[in-house]
């Protein structure tokens, strides 16, 4: 979260302080305010006062602060024109000038006494670890899960135990998992600065057998939280918490994905039960009960009675799931067609303008990724999708281990699928031509390796397309309304 915020702070130089803070989520505004206050400096004061276009003032400021901005850049700023090259120059300048100050401001807790709290969450019990620093043994307590009144009482007792005032700040953390983000929002609403930690980023001993208990896990989290708050930047990875609205929007396509898998399970189970009797039905359609009545075993007998009833029950479950799939797909299409003044829906429509992308991919890309994640650069984009390389080098041994697969698995799977569609339906695009020139003559393994590279490059181009409106080179477009006409009436069988 801290690194993403620093990159976004560079936009202050162009968009202005007020507009920048308004674009942040409520969870990040307190950090942004701390960073702005900590940076100080006359250039930042000029920005907050709306004086970015005053060339005379900026020239005097630059002479005292030694910012290496050219006179041509100042003239461009005065005219209100900000090219992509100028934006990048200002961004890089900001990062070089204020990176260390910003990181120190973000990582350092408020002055005064601070209580650190680590959660080890379970289904029935929570383990709490309290401390005021690395020195001294932590205070460990066990409480009933989701009992907020008991949690506030434990925090109050911990402050008394460590001799802290009642208004002492509290910093907490817990691992991302089944409990989601409701606890994070609750803690933030009560004035507790909380971070949600990626479980895979927590350092552990690499022994074949290591001791693991809730008490040890809580103590380890507490130690790492103190290190994180006192300035260690790479102690772990912090999860960016979506807003309630952004999190709620992800349920539709995730439910649709799970129901499609369930439909395939029911269809395969029907086919498998028939295959155990030497029968084959290539497609389970609406007339399956009639077809079932007419099939005969190898000896001319009908399907046994109990198996017959089980197949009909399985077919009824298949019909129910398929009906829900059609209802969800139609509800999604109505949202795309009729919703107004929704930036996320506008992004979906924008992606649908490209050939090779349909409602499934456009909706997933936006709701899982582009609508709410604050992406700073293409490297961060590839890492979030789990499509970055993982080289291994030790001594004379050097090899490539493949992609990291550490990001969003739904997005990664869809990106690779859309990469195949892009090569097929956008044959004249520069990306498709690059793929055919580089991997088209190779074997199937090389083509699969190449399509992963296409997926990573395509994600970057789609991000730039949504951000700037610049089409991928050579891409063909079509009206999104053409793709969203009519209701879904797909066949039942899979």
Residues (pLDDT < 70) of the chain are: 1-112, 486-494
Tell me the DSSP string of 146-187. T-HHHHHHHHHHHHHHTT--TT-EEEEEEE-STTTTHHHHHH
- Residues 50, 128 within the same domain: no
Domain annotation covers residue 494: no
Q: Kind of pairing, strands 397-403 and 169-175?
A: unpaired
Let me know whether 404 and 312 are in one domain: no
What's the structural domain count of the chain? 4
How many helices (H) and strands (E) would you count in the chain? 21, 7
Are 76 and 169 found together in one domain? no
Decide which of 229, 264, 297 is a domain's last residue: 229
CA distances, 226 to each of 172, 223, 420 (Å): 9, 5, 46
pLDDT tens-place string over residues 154-206: 999 999 999 999 999 999 999 999 999 999 999 999 999 999 999 999 988 88
Query: What pLDDT, on a 0 to 100 scale, did the predictor assign at position 489?
Result: 55
Whether residues 199 and 167 share a domain: the answer is yes
Q: Which domain holds residue 325?
A: 244-338
pLDDT score at 157: 96
- The span from the CA of 434 to the CA of 166, in Å, is 63
- Pair (130, 217) in one structural domain: yes
53, part of any domain = yes
> 378: buried, middle or exposed (CB in 10 Å: 19+, 13-18, 0-12)?
middle
User: CA nearest 235: which of 127, 331, 87, 107?
Assistant: 107
pTM for this predicted structure: 0.75
Whether 187 and 136 map to the same domain: the answer is yes
Strands 397-403 and 389-394: antiparallel
**Which tokens belong to 154?**
């434990």
| 347 domain residue, yes or no | no
pLDDT of residue 26: 42
Domain assignment of residue 349, yes or no: no
Clarify whether residues 452 and 386 are in a common domain: yes
Q: What is the CATH number of the domain that holds 198?
A: 3.30.420.40
Whether residue 6 is found in the same domain as residue 91: yes
* Token duo for residue 153: 């009482």
Distances (CA, A) of 389 to 4, 172, 218, 402: 21, 33, 33, 6
Tell me, yes or no, whether 158 lies in a domain.
yes
CA distances from residue 428 to 209, 355, 424, 432, 435 in whole angstroms, order as listed: 55, 11, 10, 7, 11
Per-residue pLDDT, 104: 39
Is residue 87 included in any domain, yes or no? Answer: yes
Residues paired with 128 in a beta bridge = 119, 141
Whether 238 maps to a domain, the answer reads: no
Residues 304 and 323 in one domain: yes
DSSP string across 53-77: T-HHHHHHHHHHHT----HHHHHHH
Q: What is the pLDDT of residues 369-390, one digit of tens each?
A: 999 998 989 999 999 999 999 9
Q: Does one domain contain both 96 and 122?
A: no
Query: How high is the pLDDT of residue 321?
Result: 97
Are 214 and 175 in contact, with CB atoms under 8 Å apart? no
């Amino acid at each position: 979260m801290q690194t993403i915020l620093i990159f976004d702070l560079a936009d202050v130089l162009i968009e202005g302080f007020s507009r920048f803070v308004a674009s942040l989520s409520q969870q990040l505004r307190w950090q942004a305010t701390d960073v702005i206050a900590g940076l100080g400096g006359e250039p930042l004061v000029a920005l907050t006062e709306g004086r970015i276009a005053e060339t005379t003032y900026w020239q005097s400021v630059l002479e005292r602060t030694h910012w290496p901005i050219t006179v041509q850049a100042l003239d461009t700023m005065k005219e209100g024109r900000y090219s992509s090259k100028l934006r990048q120059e200002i961004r890089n300048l900001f990062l070089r000038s204020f990176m260390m100050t910003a990181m120190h401001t973000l990582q350092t807790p408020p002055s005064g006494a601070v209580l650190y709290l680590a959660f080890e969450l379970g289904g029935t019990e929570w383990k709490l670890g309290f401390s005021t620093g690395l020195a001294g043994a932590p205070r460990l307590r066990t409480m009933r899960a989701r009992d907020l009144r008991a949690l506030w009482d434990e925090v109050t007792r911990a402050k008394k135990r460590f001799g802290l005032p009642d208004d002492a700040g509290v910093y907490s953390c817990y691992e991302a998992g089944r409990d989601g983000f409701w606890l994070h929002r609750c803690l933030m609403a009560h004035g507790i600065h909380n971070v949600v930690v990626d479980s895979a980023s927590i350092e552990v001993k690499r022994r074949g057998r290591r001791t693991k208990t809730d008490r040890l896990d809580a103590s380890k989290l507490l130690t790492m939280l103190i290190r994180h708050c006192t300035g260690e930047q790479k102690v772990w990875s912090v999860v960016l918490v979506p807003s309630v609205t952004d999190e709620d929007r992800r349920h539709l396509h995730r439910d649709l994905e799970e129901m499609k898998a369930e439909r395939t399970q029911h269809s395969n189970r029907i086919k498998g039960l028939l295959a155990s009797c030497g029968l084959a039905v290539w497609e389970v359609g609406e007339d399956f009960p009639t077809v079932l009545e007419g099939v005969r075993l190898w000896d001319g007998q009908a399907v046994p009675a109990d198996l017959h009833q089980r197949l009909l029950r399985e077919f009824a479950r298949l019909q129910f799931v398929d009906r829900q799939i059609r209802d969800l797909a139609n509800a999604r299409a109505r949202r795309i067609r009729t919703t107004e003044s929704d930036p996320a829906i506008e992004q979906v429509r924008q992606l649908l303008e490209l050939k090779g992308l349909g409602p499934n991919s456009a909706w997933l890309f936006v709701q899982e990724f582009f609508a709410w994640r604050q992406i700073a650069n293409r490297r961060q984009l590839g890492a979030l999708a789990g499509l970055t390389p993982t080289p291994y080098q030790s001594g004379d041994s050097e090899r490539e281990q493949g992609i990291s697969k550490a990001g969003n698995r739904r997005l990664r799977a869809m990106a690779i699928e859309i990469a195949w569609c892009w090569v097929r339906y956008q044959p004249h695009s520069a990306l498709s031509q690059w793929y055919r020139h580089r991997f088209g003559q190779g074997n199937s393994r090389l083509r699969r390796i190449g399509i992963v590279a296409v997926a990573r490059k395509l994600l970057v181009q789609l991000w730039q397309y949504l951000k700037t409106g610049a089409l991928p080179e050579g891409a063909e477009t079509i009206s999104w309304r053409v793709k969203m006409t009519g209701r879904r009436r797909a066949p039942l069988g899979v």
